[in-house]
Structure 1
Amino acid sequence: MSTHARLQRHVVLNGLGWLLPAALGLAAVPALAGRLGPERFGLLSLTWAAVSAFAILDLGLGRAVSLLVADRGARGRAAEIAPLVSAAGRLSWAFGAPIALLGVLLAPAIATSQLKLPPDLVDEGVRTLRWLALALPLVVHGIVLRAALEGELRFGAVNVFRIPLGVVTWGGPWLAALFTCDVSHLALVIVAGRALYWAGQWLLIARDDARRLASSTAAAQTAEPLAAHAAAVEQAAPTSPYRALWQAGSWITLSGVLTPLLTTLDRLLVPLVAPIATVGWYVAVGDGAMRLWLFPAALGPVLAPALAAAFARADRAESVRLLTRATRATGAILALPALALVMAAEPILRWWLNAAFAPDAVPVFQWFVATVFANCIAQVAYAGLQAGGEARAAARLHLFELPVFLVLLAVAVWKFGAAGAAAAWGARMLIDAAIMTAMGVRRIGLPAGEALRWGAVTLVLLLPLLWELSAPLR
């Protein structure tokens, strides 16, 4: 992890793991929108959104597990890895399983009174919601398992599972729609893919744990008496894995709980006040804009441990170098695609959404793209704060944002529907990005010039939208 070349290889590998399924999703959406019609496509979009939103129940355990696994491996304490991963897995099931049961029981009430489904779609909606509920614990535990692989820098294995999952998530419903338009069947395909993804990771990690146990047993049998006694003493009173998770990741966990919640709250409220067809294009344009997050998603798991090592060595020059390169790479790679999406929003959405296109989707999409771009830049500062022992500052910011955003979002959705939800969501993203970047400049040495440069690019991205909104005043 000390060489930038190796970091770049890991980022490229992660990027391919995210990019290939995303490309399939871009192709599948217009085909499914035309095949299913607005209402059924809206229900399918809600399925995709719900599977993504299940990350809320990860509780930040993924990042904590990744850091702890890397730490234990570096310290030669590999025997502690399996108990840590198992403890995190039990916590994920403890949170996920009761919610899944509740979702199965409440599915009829949600479908009839909350989603405002047409009468002929209610039964499909109930079945779809129940499949999603059953998938929830598997999705959450799968995040923990993936984090364990990332902590050991096994990005090859991570992407061996991630790419087929993306293919099934997007291509599976596309293929199944050739035979049926029943959304519950399409949701079952998505859930089956998640189950296979979880099972594959679990089997791989279980095999590795068995190998570690056999290796440590053989080493103990051949060790000298004094070394064997020391190992026995250490194993006799091991640090509780739950305590280790709390000590290493309490603030990371808090931020990990709040961040997905802040990101997906609009998708939970819009279905309560908007027709299901509006939900379809709203979720779709949000997902389209969030594809910009693919690069930060590839960069973050690689950047965080590299920064942590630099901070641990008190190597300020290296940490600043990493922060500068990561920020420049993020901006340089995403700026032109973001600008193209903003400038050509209408033709892109007409082609992509097909029958689900609505004129109201255009300004919402432009707003989402600009604000997501700003957030992508801020992800470097966010990773740096966590790696540099400043996770508490980021978590406190998210904790402060939550009640303010809840009130703002509720009022905006109630008064202005989907457009209000988009305005509130994007405003929070911009404010969060500005404050997070400022904290990075102040606390961990993020160069202020980089922050100002990419802030100016964000303003450029907002200009077409501001021009359209000012039309009545001109």
Structure 2
Amino acid sequence: MIKKNILWSFLSGVLPLLVGVFIFPLIVHAYGTERFGILAISWALVGYFSLFDMGLSRALTQVISDRVAKKLDETETVEITFTAFRIMWCLGVLGGAALWVIAPWLVNKILSDASVIKQETITLFTIVSVSIPFVVHTAALRGVMEALHLFKQASLIRLVLGMGTFLGPYIATFYSSSLEYAALALVLVRLVGWLLHLYVVRNSNFLKNKSSKFNYKWLRQLLAFGGWMSVSNVIGPLMVYLDRFLIAALLGASAVSYYVAPYEVVTKLWLIPASFTGVLFPIFAKEWEVNPSVAANILNKGIVYVLILLYPAVLIISIFSNEWLSLWLGTEFSLNGSNLVRWLSAGVLVNAVTQILFAKIQGAGRADWTAKLHLAELVPYWIFLWVALKLFGLQGAALAWFLRVTVDAVGMAYAVGKLNTLNYARIKMPMLALSVGLIPILLPILVENYIFRFSLIIITGLIYGFIVWKRLVKDGLSIKELKRL
């Protein structure tokens, strides 16, 4: 069942990735680099303001999973769910209103260079703000679906949303290249996603013929877990999306396009660790204390198989960044983004492992640890990002991001070891392999020679193949079993 759930989650990310690779050049061409840069920032805004759920969606997953496993009163469980739903609607409305209010300030103060399309940009942000309440409530509905292990349905809906995020703005260009139509398309996609989630949850046996009463007494239980998690949920994306705003402020909106286009492709590889974390989080929550050895082994396998699946793609994307960027978006993007892609690729690999560690820590109920780590990183990252942009331009933004996610990984590894020494023993070798594996990913930054890069990928590929083969033999996985995954 775990393998099937991971597979469904993985497949729901592959098709949007393929659609994005095909559609991205068409979107850039249709809107132009400046408008596309603004559109990319609107994607970031939706992603950030959706975290007005204050950690309640993940808290809901944990609470429901725990109560279902212990066969506690079903009416009370549903009551907790509807209490969370109502609170998250309020939080979503608050987030949407906040974005509506600050939209003119964002354009006039931070994106002042976009004066030619200033009103169009304000309208874009204003329209997009309408989707925030639906996005936040969608997170709550998805939390329920994950707790009930409805991963197949959740994955199919995620597939629709993922493709719609790219197809919506592109289809809108058939009517006009104005950002207003792109905003309407994005809102429509989010609304469809919300309706699909609502349909699945409403038609599950979980909510049938049970109380939909709102009860304040359950808020404390939800917020006890969600409070610290919300700190990570707010600060984490703030560090992720901050670079785009600083790039726009320091280098111009067009520069955002050169950064975001490769970023959106490279980070789509996160669909692999995301496929694991959504499934493993409830397992970690259940097993970390009762069966620490089992939980430590699952942690090890989660990290190892994320590295096995992700590393070849990251290596090829990095070593041949010049070639695929030039073929995909043209010479200008290749000149501006080849080394940038290499830093981003290395960061994606590091962060993929961090996501598994993150799921283990939060599954153990220690959301305060991850929140405190993110708080400690925030200001130093802001300062370093600003300095790196000033000194190295776009490549500086990617370098700063890579260093930040590396610090994050080290901190998470230390925290996992604090939970149980068994965890440290089981992650030691995968973390060492990760560190060594970063070397061939980053080497092309120093040596651009084509023969060197081609030799590098052959040598690294042979070493990778040997290590993976030994691991699969150790785990007793045959080729036939791998195909069934």
The answer to whether the superposition gives a TM-score over 0.5 is yes
The residue that corresponds to 1:256 in the other structure is 233
The residue that corresponds to 2:251 in the other structure is 274
1:137 equivalent to 2:133? Answer yes
Q: Secondary structure at the match of 2:175?
A: coil
TM-score (norm 2): 0.84
Code of the residue aligned with 2:443 in structure 1: it is L
Identical-residue share of aligned pairs (%): 27
Q: Secondary structure at the match of 2:143?
A: helix
Using the TM superposition, name which of 285-294 and 201-210 deviates more. 201-210
1:86-112 residue CA offsets vs partner (Å, 9 max, x unmatched): 333333333332342243344344334
The residue that corresponds to 1:330 in the other structure is 306
The residue that corresponds to 1:436 in the other structure is 412
1:17 equivalent to 2:5? Answer no
The residue that corresponds to 1:221 in the other structure is none
Where in structure 2 are the equivalents of 1:257-336 lying within 5 Å?
Answer: 257-313=234-290, 315-336=291-312
Of 173, 177, 194, which residue of structure 2 is paired with 1:177? Answer: 173
Which structure ranks higher in relative contact order (CA pairs < 8 Å, sequence separation ≥ 6)? 1
Deviation at 1:308, TM superposition (A): 2.5
The residue that corresponds to 1:220 in the other structure is none
The residue that corresponds to 1:88 in the other structure is 84
Are the counterparts in 2 of residues 345 and 362 from structure 1 also a CA contact under 8 Å?
yes
Inter-partner Cα distance in structure 1 for 2:114 and 2:243: 22
Deviation at 1:318, TM superposition (A): 1.4
Classify 1:440/1:210 alpha carbon distance in 2 versus 1 (closer, same or farther; 3 Å): closer
Are the counterparts in 1 of residues 79 and 215 from structure 2 also a CA contact under 8 Å?
no
* CA root-mean-square deviation: 2.6
Deviation at 1:270, TM superposition (A): 2.0
Q: Secondary structure at the match of 2:63?
A: helix
Are the counterparts in 2 of residues 62 and 147 from structure 1 also a CA contact under 8 Å?
yes
Are the counterparts in 1 of residues 78 and 206 from structure 2 also a CA contact under 8 Å?
no
Inter-partner Cα distance in structure 1 for 2:331 and 2:102: 31
1:451 equivalent to 2:431? Answer yes
Code of the residue aligned with 1:133 in structure 2: it is S
Classify 1:270/1:361 alpha carbon distance in 2 versus 1 (closer, same or farther; 3 Å): same
Q: Secondary structure at the match of 2:112?
A: coil
Where in structure 2 are the equivalents of 1:15-414 lying within 5 Å?
Answer: 15-76=10-71, 77-208=73-204, 211-213=207-209, 240-313=217-290, 315-354=291-330, 357=333, 359-414=335-390
Code of the residue aligned with 1:81 in structure 2: it is T
Classify 1:379/1:102 alpha carbon distance in 2 versus 1 (closer, same or farther; 3 Å): closer
Classify 1:280/1:323 alpha carbon distance in 2 versus 1 (closer, same or farther; 3 Å): same
Deviation at 1:57, TM superposition (A): 2.4
Classify 1:428/1:210 alpha carbon distance in 2 versus 1 (closer, same or farther; 3 Å): closer
Are the counterparts in 1 of residues 282 and 363 from structure 2 also a CA contact under 8 Å?
yes
Classify 1:145/1:210 alpha carbon distance in 2 versus 1 (closer, same or farther; 3 Å): closer
TM-score (norm 1): 0.86
Are the counterparts in 2 of residues 38 and 280 from structure 1 also a CA contact under 8 Å?
yes
Deviation at 1:170, TM superposition (A): 1.0
Classify 1:47/1:392 alpha carbon distance in 2 versus 1 (closer, same or farther; 3 Å): closer
Using the TM superposition, name which of 293-302 and 130-139 deviates more. 130-139
Using the TM superposition, name which of 92-101 and 256-265 deviates more. 92-101
Deviation at 1:135, TM superposition (A): 1.5
The residue that corresponds to 1:464 in the other structure is 444
1:114-141 residue CA offsets vs partner (Å, 9 max, x unmatched): 2235444223212211111111222122
Q: Secondary structure at the match of 2:149?
A: coil
1:169-207 residue CA offsets vs partner (Å, 9 max, x unmatched): 111222222332112202211111101211332344344
Are the counterparts in 2 of residues 300 and 383 from structure 1 also a CA contact under 8 Å?
yes
Q: Secondary structure at the match of 1:196?
A: helix
Using the TM superposition, name which of 60-69 and 386-395 deviates more. 386-395
Inter-partner Cα distance in structure 2 for 1:153 and 1:403: 38
Deviation at 1:38, TM superposition (A): 1.4
Using the TM superposition, name which of 264-273 and 190-199 deviates more. 264-273
Classify 1:13/1:210 alpha carbon distance in 2 versus 1 (closer, same or farther; 3 Å): closer
Deviation at 1:417, TM superposition (A): 4.3
Inter-partner Cα distance in structure 1 for 2:247 and 2:85: 32
Q: Return 5+ residue gaps in structure 1 as ranges.
A: 1-5, 218-234, 470-474
Deviation at 1:239, TM superposition (A): 8.1
Code of the residue aligned with 2:53 in structure 1: it is D
Inter-partner Cα distance in structure 2 for 1:255 and 1:48: 20
Count the aligned residue pairs.
444
Code of the residue aligned with 1:18 in structure 2: it is G
Classify 1:64/1:48 alpha carbon distance in 2 versus 1 (closer, same or farther; 3 Å): same
Using the TM superposition, name which of 425-434 and 404-413 deviates more. 404-413
Are the counterparts in 1 of residues 225 and 365 from structure 2 also a CA contact under 8 Å?
no
Are the counterparts in 1 of residues 107 and 114 from structure 2 also a CA contact under 8 Å?
no
Are the counterparts in 2 of residues 280 and 356 from structure 1 also a CA contact under 8 Å?
no
1:414-460 residue CA offsets vs partner (Å, 9 max, x unmatched): 55543332222221111111221233245333321122112211233
Classify 1:397/1:24 alpha carbon distance in 2 versus 1 (closer, same or farther; 3 Å): same
